[in-house]
């Protein structure tokens, strides 16, 4: 679960930090405690250094009587033990509370020395300082006090820290898990809402939170994706319906003709005429099916673009050649007089489809004996091809829709011109594969101009 992973990684970091903090606390407190004890020992040592007197060359304390008296009157909770040594390290004198024992001298050195040791089976902290007399080291003084009480406090601090460590981590883990769970709840909501969106409920959308953060971005991009999917789905549906309709019309005509023939016997001539009409309808259907197949073929992933160096002039001449009979029949003229050749890198198969459809449209939508002008202009970015006719033109509002499959502008205005409205949608898809943006400029009644800008590097 994502929330457990968040909580766990948070925990690992916290565990490390907490450990560092606890270790730091423990050492800080224990350092403070020892500093406090050392401070006390210093004061005691200083006080007794002032009470040391050399008595016939032997070091001794001159207030011993006072000590003994005090010992009988007050019970010292944390007594201080004192031992005095001569310059050879032999015990010279000591506090009466030591009875038969004495503190041990660890080292004979000039600097004060602090250390923990054991005396009479109890932990003590001891300081030893040199005793100076007339600028000479006359002996050493050791002062010590029991640290049992302090150690107990430190031990219980350690215990508390050790117990509270896993406990704190456990509490933090559940807290982090709860908070992580709470913060990913909106994502769970989104998942829940998305799981209810199916093909038949593609119109549903996710509720976008007004939080102005990544969650809102996520929801709005999911909704945008759903919009695109829904639109694509509707387009696909529309396309299938249009394709079926386009095939149904000639089929209906065909069926009608044949049924009329079946109703009663006819003359030979009538049969012949109906059959010719039927074949024409079948040809139309054939053409439509071929266009549909072509459309599927140039649809993105289906077609592998095969680039080759081609001569644009040669390709255009070829297409014009194919339409020569039609051009002649309509008494039209195509003006194409390029001065230099234009070689460009493109997919010859796709380019041929594009040129054929554009020139076919220019011929189809021209008036009788109209003129078509094809020009290639060398631009800095590559050759620019323009195919201009003086035909019926396209109404302004239709311009943006003529690339849609099956869309024909004002088909009833020119009923004699047949077509499926698939040509330009094939052109658009082929151009997309070739990275060309076809531009159509047109004025109703005046003519149409199609521009294709080739780039040097496709």
Which C-beta is closer to ligand ATP: that of 144 or that of 358? Answer: 358
d(Cα 19, Cα 183) in Å, to the nearest integer?
Answer: 27
Answer left, alpha or beta for residue 114, where phi above 0 means left and psi between -120 and 50 means alpha: beta
Segment 275 to 334, residues that bind ligand ATP, using CB under 6 A = 291
Q: Binding partner of residue 246 among ligand ATP, Mg ion, none, CB under 5 to 8 Å per kind?
A: none
Write down the residue that tokens 């531009």 correspond to. Answer: 439
* Tokens, residue 150: 């302090």
Q: What angle do CA 80, 83, 86 make, to 5 degrees?
A: 160
Query: For ligand ATP, which residue has the nearest CB?
Result: 423
Segment 99 to 128, residues that bind ligand ATP, using CB under 6 A = none
Rule CB under 5 A: say whether 391 interacts with Mg ion. Answer: no
Instruction: Please state the closest distance from residue 409 (CB atom) to Mg ion, in A.
Output: 11
Segment 332 to 391, residues that bind ligand ATP, using CB under 6 A = 357, 361-362, 364-365, 389, 391
Which C-beta is closer to Mg ion: that of 176 or that of 334? Answer: 334
Among 139, 250, 423, 447, binds Mg ion (CB under 5 A): 423
Q: Binding partner of residue 422 among Mg ion, ligand ATP, none, CB under 5 to 8 Å per kind?
A: ligand ATP
Buried b (16+ CB within 10 A) or exposed e, 132-146: eeeeeebbbbbbbbb
Residue count (the chain): 458
d(Cα 146, Cα 122) in Å, to the nearest integer?
Answer: 7
d(Cα 46, Cα 130) in Å, to the nearest integer?
Answer: 11
Provide the mask over 351-380, with x wherever binding to Mg ion is found by CB under 5 A and - wherever it is not. Answer: ----------x-------------------
Segment 125 to 164, residues that bind ligand ATP, using CB under 6 A = none
Instruction: Please state the closest distance from residue 361 (CB atom) to Mg ion, in A.
Output: 4
Provide the mask over 394-433, with x wherever binding to ligand ATP is found by CB under 6 A and - wherever it is not. Answer: x-------x-----xx---------xxxxxxx--------
Q: Binding partner of residue 146 among Mg ion, ligand ATP, none, CB under 5 to 8 Å per kind?
A: none
Which C-beta is closer to Mg ion: that of 339 or that of 412? Answer: 412
Instruction: Please state the closest distance from residue 285 (CB atom) to ligand ATP, in A.
Output: 13
* Tokens, residue 325: 């009979």
Instruction: Please state the closest distance from residue 243 (CB atom) to ligand ATP, in A.
Output: 12
Q: Binding partner of residue 362 among ligand ATP, Mg ion, none, CB under 5 to 8 Å per kind?
A: ligand ATP
**Residues in contact with ligand ATP, total (CB under 6 A)?**
22
The CA dihedral of 390, 392, 397, 402, to the nearest 10 degrees, is: -90
SS (H, E, C) 113-168: EEEEEEECCEEEEEEEEEEEECCEEEEEEEEEEECHHHHHHHHHHHHHHHHHHHHH
d(Cα 436, Cα 453) in Å, to the nearest integer?
Answer: 6
Which C-beta is closer to Mg ion: that of 393 or that of 423? Answer: 423
Question: Looking at residue 37, what DSSP letter applies?
Answer: H
Which C-beta is closer to Mg ion: that of 423 or that of 447? Answer: 423
Instruction: Please state the closest distance from residue 417 (CB atom) to Mg ion, in A.
Output: 9
Which C-beta is closer to ligand ATP: that of 59 or that of 424? Answer: 424
* Tokens, residue 155: 């031990």
Which C-beta is closer to Mg ion: that of 10 or that of 406? Answer: 406
Centroid of chain to Cα 423: 41
DSSP line for 343-372: EEEE-HHHHHHHHHHHHHHHHHTSPTT-EE
**What residues line the site for Mg ion (CB under 5 A)?**
361, 423
**What residues line the site for ligand ATP (CB under 6 A)?**
291, 357, 361-362, 364-365, 389, 391-394, 402, 408-409, 419-425, 448
């Amino acid at each position: 679960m994502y929330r457990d992973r968040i909580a766990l990684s948070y925990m690992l970091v916290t565990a490390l930090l907490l450990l560092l903090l606890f270790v730091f606390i423990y050492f800080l407190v224990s350092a403070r405690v020892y500093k406090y004890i050392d401070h006390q020992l210093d004061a005691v040592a200083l006080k007794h250094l002032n009470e040391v007197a050399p008595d016939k060359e032997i070091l001794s304390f001159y207030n011993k009587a006072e000590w003994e008296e005090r010992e009988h009157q007050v019970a010292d909770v944390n007594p201080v033990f004192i031992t005095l040594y001569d310059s050879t390290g032999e015990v010279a004198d000591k506090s009466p509370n030591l009875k038969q024992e004495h503190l041990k001298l660890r080292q004979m050195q000039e600097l004060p020395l602090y250390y923990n040791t054991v005396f009479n089976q109890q932990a003590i902290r001891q300081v030893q300082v040199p005793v100076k007399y007339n600028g000479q080291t006359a002996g050493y003084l050791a002062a010590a006090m029991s640290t049992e009480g302090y150690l107990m406090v430190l031990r219980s601090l350690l215990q508390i820290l050790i117990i509270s460590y896993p406990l704190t981590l456990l509490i933090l883990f559940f807290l982090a898990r709860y908070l992580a769970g709470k913060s990913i709840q909106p994502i769970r909501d989104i998942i829940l809402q998305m799981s209810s969106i199916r093909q038949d409920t593609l119109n549903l959308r996710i509720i976008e939170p007004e939080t102005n953060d990544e969650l809102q971005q996520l929801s709005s991009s999911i909704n945008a994706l759903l919009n695109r999917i829904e639109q694509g789905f509707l387009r696909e549906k529309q396309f299938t319906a249009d394709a079926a309709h386009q095939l149904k019309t000639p089929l209906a005509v065909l069926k009608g003709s044949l049924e009329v023939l079946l109703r009663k016997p006819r003359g030979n001539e009538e049969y012949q005429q109906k059959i010719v009409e039927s074949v024409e309808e079948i040809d139309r259907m054939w053409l439509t099916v071929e266009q549909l197949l072509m459309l599927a073929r140039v649809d993105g992933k289906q077609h592998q673009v095969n680039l080759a160096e081609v001569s644009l002039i040669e390709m255009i001449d070829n297409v014009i050649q194919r339409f020569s009979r039609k051009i002649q029949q309509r008494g039209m003229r195509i003006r194409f007089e390029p001065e230099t050749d234009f070689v460009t890198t493109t997919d010859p198969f796709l380019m041929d489809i594009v040129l054929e459809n554009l020139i076919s449209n220019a011929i189809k939508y021209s008036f009788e004996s109209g003129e078509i002008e094809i020009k290639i202009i060398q631009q800095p970015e590559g050759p620019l091809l323009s195919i201009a006719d003086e035909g019926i033109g396209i109404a302004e509002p239709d311009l943006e829709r003529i690339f849609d499959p099956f869309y024909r502008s004002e088909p009833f205005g020119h009923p004699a011109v047949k077509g499926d409205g698939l040509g330009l949608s094939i052109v658009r898809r082929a151009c997309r594969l070739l990275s060309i943006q076809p531009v159509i400029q047109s004025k109703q009644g005046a003519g149409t101009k199609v521009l294709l800008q080739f780039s040097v590097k496709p």
